[in-house]
Amino acid sequence: MTSLENRLREHRARAGLTQAALAERVEVSRKTINTVENGVFVPSTVLALKLAAALETSVENLFQLPETQ
């Protein structure tokens, strides 16, 4: 499985959003935001773009491949 580092929690906190509020903005469940933040679930490109747009940042700022790859 492809591992993915993410800084979603950090960007969400900076935007002053709860998991539920961010979930509502991108039309997913709060649990999905939680599992993405914890690296359990790797989001699709569409969801990654929606998250980046909701947090007014780029996908690259939210998600990166581990440096070893």
Q: Which is nearer to other proteins, 4 or 28 (CB)?
A: 28
Q: Which is nearer to other proteins, 14 or 31 (CB)?
A: 31
Q: Residue 59, Cα to own-chain centre: how many angstroms? A: 9
CB 38 to other proteins: min, Å: 9
Contact string 17-46 vs other proteins (x = CB under 8 A): ------xx--xxx-xx-xx----xx-xx-x
Half-sphere exposure of 22 (CA within 13 A, CB side): 28
> How far apart are the C-alpha atoms of 62 and 12, rounded to whole Å?
10
